[in-house]
Structure 1
Amino acid sequence: MRWFGFGFNAFGQICVAEGKVKCPTELSGGGCCSESRHIRASWSRRASLSLDGGSCVSLSGFGDALSSESCRAPLAESRGCKDALLGELYLTLAFPDRIESWDLRKTSKTPSWRMDIQTQSESSGAPLNLPLVPGGFIATKPPFYRPLSPDLRAKSLALGAGHAVLLTATGAVYSWGLGSHGQLGHGGLTSEEQPRAVEALWGMPMSSVAAGGWHSACISDGGDLYVWGWNEVGQLGLPSQGLRKASQQQISQAGELHHDATKGEKSEEVFISIQAFPALLDVTPSCEISKVSCGSRHTAAVTTTGDLYTWGWGEYGQLGHQSFTTLDEPHHVEFFRDQQMRVVDVVCGTWNTFAAVIKEEETCSENKTPSLS
């Protein structure tokens, strides 16, 4: 599996010299993390997590105290970890028997915070899945440990800029935190201190959740994508008035817009600034959605056929369309299909995107049924 990155790169998160990367660029590994299985991203950094044998984390991006190099340096403190959570100031590592949070600004050889956990046996169920930990979850800043009611039966948790979206074992969705832009999905703009069920999704089991700056998303068991929250620059894939106005101004400046001819048509167009309830987004009618991730103001989704679609703010090239265009409709990232690559995972950083791919022939060989002789 190979990882590609595109978008904001001012600190070398994608390990190339440019400040903006509009064309998907393959990430280079280093040390024990040359074969990255997972990527975690913050605004100024990227963490590459290897789960092969000597599992470890390497950091790329803004210079930090833990790493002696600016890119691809495996952290000795991370050897043996099973998962990682990356914030702007702290790196949290999950080990079989403990959780550690390291301050990226300090050179201390001891973690800023540590919590011992019960060692998981082979029969103890699913492995650790940060930010979830036994009894609660880990935040990206102090206080790190936040308790959760065991009645929720949490399966996965996505942390946004100021809100959280939780998926239960039964497929129900809960949210809490800042709600000023409808990102909680409860129909209003109020905040919630405690987890509250997203009632609009009740009775429709979900398989995964995602949270961005001020918007959220989830995928149903049937592969349908639901989105809600702020749509200022089309990050929900819904018509954005500001984006359309900017586009019309550009066309007008080029002398190609006939206001009289389109006045009636534009007045009938419906724009969405805030979508406070979950809305079904038809990314592509031909296949289902398998993965979704949210950045600060953009979104990316992978289909069951291995295609990547992106939309929202694109001024750093984070949409992967080899341009700096912002879009309020899902668009297919042609690069990977042109290179005969199948996308299997996607992770949105704040202003960038990382996609995991395999070659199409690998997929064919995996699916090939051996002949009987």
Structure 2
Amino acid sequence: MRWFGFGFNAFQQIQTQNNPEYSGLDAEERLSSPTELKGHVNRDGRCFEFSQIRASWSRRASLHSDGFVNDSCRGVIKQSRGCRDVFISESHLTLAFLDRVECWDLQSSDETPSWTMGIDTQSKSSAVNLPLVPGGYIASKPPFFHSLSPHMQAKSLALGGEHVILLTATGAVYTWGQGSHGQLGHGGLLPEEEPRTVEALWGMKMSSVSAGGWHSVCISDAGDLYVWGWNESGQLGLPSQRLRKTSEKKTDQQEGELSQNSSTHQEEVFISIQAFPALFDVTPLCEVKTVSCGSRHTAAVTTSGDLYTWGWGEYGQLGHQSFSSSDEPQRVEFFRAQQLHVVGVVCGPWNTFAAVANEEGLAPEYPTKPLNKHGE
């Protein structure tokens, strides 16, 4: 599987400094065009493809097909051999193995994890993706483990800047944490200390959830996208007053029609906070397959293999070969032009990573072999 990245690159999470294609400080910090990530080369010279990407603000963790994890700041983590899932924050790296979960302090030189938890390999609940773990979930900051009621039957979970979204096996959505930007979807701006069901979605089965800095999204079994929370940068795809005012000023300066444009935009309805889930149509031609949220931007992959992005784009994280923001979904034309089929997307806070295949189907680009239960 091939991966491409774009957006914030000040710590070389996407592209290293020594690539001659990009020169100058601006090019190193911001990449507005999708750039292919290079796979991990082991001591034998074999190149292994990525199977998973996770990103924090300044770091990228890549899980490779040989069972090793690469931290963009530290290189290959030798203790990660046999890893099956990874989760990264600014301060800690979490690794999930068949029989245990480990948290490593990224600021420490210790060669042992700062926290570890055993996993019952006979338990069906162990077959979940991070940040979920049996009996609870892993937080991005210490203390690492938070318990969940066994009655929740959690299927997946997403951590936002100050809130949590949980999807149950029955397709119900629960949220808790800070709600000051409407990111909990309960209609108010108050916090919730315990998981509370999003009643506006009750009766509709959801298949996936994602959390941004202060906004939330989910996809129904029918492929419909629902959004709620903060829309200051157009991250919900709803009309943003800040973005429209910026666009209006540029138009006024170019055309000298200040009074006419101002009277037009005063009649528009702008949304800064959407406290209830709102049905959002990315494109009328196809359904949404998967979605991911950055701090203030959103990216969605459709069933046709196209990637659409919207929201804050000042670091190029929308992939439209510009540093503009947008409160309307736009297709990333790079992948269509390269005849690449997007199959997945992962947003970091200020950047975006897309997994792609050739349109005729995905064939392994690098030589690989199946892993045994020890990841060898």
Q: Say yes or no: TM over 0.5.
A: yes
- Give me the whole-angstrom Cα distance separating, in 2, the residues matched to 1:212 and 1:19: 22
Residues 155-179 of structure 1, C-alpha deviations (whole Å, 9 max, x = no match): 0000011110000000000000011
- Give me the whole-angstrom Cα distance separating, in 2, the residues matched to 1:307 and 1:126: 32
- Give me the whole-angstrom Cα distance separating, in 1, the residues matched to 2:346 and 2:122: 27
Change (3 A) 1:272 1:111: same
- Give me the whole-angstrom Cα distance separating, in 2, the residues matched to 1:332 and 1:221: 23
- Give me the whole-angstrom Cα distance separating, in 2, the residues matched to 1:257 and 1:178: 44
Does residue 59 of structure 2 align to residue 41 of structure 1? no
How far apart are residue 142 of structure 1 and its match? 0.7
User: What is the percentage of aligned positions where both structures have the same residue?
Assistant: 66
Which amino acid in structure 2 is aligned with residue 29 of structure 1? G
SS of match in other structure, 2:247: helix
Which amino acid in structure 2 is aligned with residue 133 of structure 1? V
Note the aligned Cα RMSD (angstroms). 1.5
| Mapping of residues 105-116 of structure 1, within 5 Å | 105-116=107-118
- Give me the whole-angstrom Cα distance separating, in 1, the residues matched to 2:293 and 2:305: 18
- Give me the whole-angstrom Cα distance separating, in 2, the residues matched to 1:127 and 1:151: 17
Residues 134-186 of structure 1, C-alpha deviations (whole Å, 9 max, x = no match): 10001111110000001111000000111100000000000000111000000
Contact 2:128 2:156 in 1 (8 A): no
Does residue 299 of structure 2 align to residue 287 of structure 1? no
Picking from 13, 28, 40, the partner of 1:30 is: 40
How many matched pairs? 349
Q: Which residue of 1 aligns with 2:371?
A: none
How far apart are residue 263 of structure 1 and its match? 4.5
How far apart are residue 260 of structure 1 and its match? 4.0
Q: Which residue of 2 aligns with 1:367?
A: none
Contact 1:97 1:120 in 2 (8 A): no
Q: Which residue of 1 aligns with 2:150?
A: 150
How far apart are residue 126 of structure 1 and its match? 6.8
- Give me the whole-angstrom Cα distance separating, in 2, the residues matched to 1:74 and 1:359: 28
SS of match in other structure, 2:361: helix
- Give me the whole-angstrom Cα distance separating, in 2, the residues matched to 1:11 and 1:34: 23
Q: Which residue of 2 aligns with 1:298?
A: 297
- Give me the whole-angstrom Cα distance separating, in 2, the residues matched to 1:81 and 1:351: 26
Q: Which residue of 1 aligns with 2:187?
A: 187
Q: Structure 1 regions of 5+ residues with no counterpart?
A: 68-72, 365-373
- Give me the whole-angstrom Cα distance separating, in 2, the residues matched to 1:132 and 1:139: 9
- Give me the whole-angstrom Cα distance separating, in 1, the residues matched to 2:337 and 2:167: 35
Which amino acid in structure 2 is aligned with residue 285 of structure 1? P
SS of match in other structure, 1:243: helix
How far apart are residue 104 of structure 1 and its match? 0.3
- Give me the whole-angstrom Cα distance separating, in 2, the residues matched to 1:270 and 1:352: 29
Contact 1:96 1:120 in 2 (8 A): no
How far apart are residue 236 of structure 1 and its match? 0.4
Does residue 14 of structure 2 align to residue 14 of structure 1? yes
Which amino acid in structure 1 is aligned with residue 31 of structure 2? V
Q: Which residue of 1 aligns with 2:323?
A: 324
TM-score (normalised: structure 1): 0.91
Q: Which residue of 2 aligns with 1:274?
A: 273
Q: Which runs of 4+ in 1 moved over 4 A?
A: none
- Give me the whole-angstrom Cα distance separating, in 2, the residues matched to 1:135 and 1:55: 25
Picking from 75, 78, 81, the partner of 1:76 is: 78
How far apart are residue 97 of structure 1 and its match? 1.0
Q: Which residue of 1 aligns with 2:200?
A: 200
| Mapping of residues 195-234 of structure 1, within 5 Å | 195-234=195-234
How far apart are residue 361 of structure 1 and its match? 1.7
How far apart are residue 264 of structure 1 and its match? 4.3
- Give me the whole-angstrom Cα distance separating, in 1, the residues matched to 2:295 and 2:362: 32
- Give me the whole-angstrom Cα distance separating, in 2, the residues matched to 1:197 and 1:11: 38
- Give me the whole-angstrom Cα distance separating, in 1, the residues matched to 2:227 and 2:233: 14
Which amino acid in structure 1 is aligned with residue 188 of structure 2? G
How far apart are residue 334 of structure 1 and its match? 0.3
Q: Which residue of 2 aligns with 1:129?
A: 129
- Give me the whole-angstrom Cα distance separating, in 2, the residues matched to 1:305 and 1:112: 43
Q: Which residue of 2 aligns with 1:59?
A: 71
- Give me the whole-angstrom Cα distance separating, in 2, the residues matched to 1:329 and 1:90: 35
Contact 1:183 1:276 in 2 (8 A): yes
Which amino acid in structure 2 is aligned with residue 46 of structure 1? R
